[in-house]
Amino acid sequence: MREIEPQWNMFGTEARAGSVLQALRTAYTVESADINPYHDAAFGRAWEEKGPHEENLQARLRKSIFPSNVHEHLVLLYEHHKVQGVDNFLKTGSQYESLALSVPWLNNYIRDNPKLTFTIEHVHQASFDDHAMSTFAKDMKARHREDLIPIVQARQSQIALLEVGSAYWLIFPDRHMMLWRYETRWGLLNWTEADFHPAECGDYRTNNGGCSGREVSPDGVMMPEPGAFDETCIASTATRCSLYPCQMNLSSLSWTTAKAASLTAPAKSASRSVSPMWATSLKVWPVSNAIRNGATSTPPER
């Protein structure tokens, strides 16, 4: 049944949105497609009995120029018996694909790990959609990294969201990356769980892994995670916070915060070591959509 179901889903999608699939095939190979209400941290709308409800066309796509282990997960709103936004995707979707495949060290990792699947997300009109932004904000509040929320929000329309091994990575226009959340070690690329110190997520919690916010520079170097005291000082651009001197040692800051601090730091400032603050706990996160991984529409068993 599991082998037959993807074919039935494709037949059903052809009947309901055949013209859209035909348009997609002018630029992509459509490997699988379905129209469903599925959702996870990055797409869809959580189901509520009284609504509102959301259905989407979800398709797994490939371009001939993609590495063999790179795919695209397309999510387009299905409303009033019509798929919305396909023309816009065909015009603008390539900007996120280009960004996701423009990081040299990541390209090397993709090439050297052919058994791992890398998926570029495109939801409605962007790669990092409003639902993803909302989930990210809840996660960073739970992680005590509220400082990252406005930074990501300001660049939301430019960010490419990449999924690998049940992990979500944000790729910024300057090619630095941020680990948003993960479930297994396979999504941690060149690092291990000890490098990320995961904390409980605010939504779509998972039994394994968790939420992070750690950043990687464009050349693939992990940036240290700042302490909460340092973030408060930098935000206020003060020379003193409470009874202690505000540390402005850029080597201790995240990639995003360090760039901002370099523009506002006092000419002379003391530095001190601050232990990062993090929490550990168990998490629960619903399964991701099966279409993205080319599976059936039935959620896999854990």
Instruction: Indicate the pTM of the whole model.
Output: 0.75
Q: Which residue has the higher pLDDT, 193 or 291?
A: 193
pLDDT in tens, 123-132: 999 999 999 9
Q: What is the pLDDT of residue 291?
A: 41
Q: What is the pLDDT of residue 129?
A: 95
Distance between alpha carbon 161 and the CA centroid of its chain, in Å?
4
Q: 13-20 contacts: CB < 8 A, separation 24 or more?
A: 13/57, 13/59, 16/78, 16/81, 17/57, 17/78, 17/82, 17/83, 20/57, 20/76, 20/83, 20/86
Q: What is the pLDDT of residue 107?
A: 98
Whether 242 has a pLDDT exceeding 50, the answer reads no
Residues 6+ apart with CB under 8 A from 16: 35, 78, 81
The domain locations on the chain are 5-220+286-293, 228-264
Whether 193 has a pLDDT exceeding 80, the answer reads yes
What is the average pLDDT value for the chain, to the nearest integer? 79
Amino acid present at 27:
A
| pLDDT range class, residue 237, cuts 50, 70, 90 | very low
Q: What is the pLDDT of residue 9?
A: 80
Q: What is the pLDDT of residue 135?
A: 95
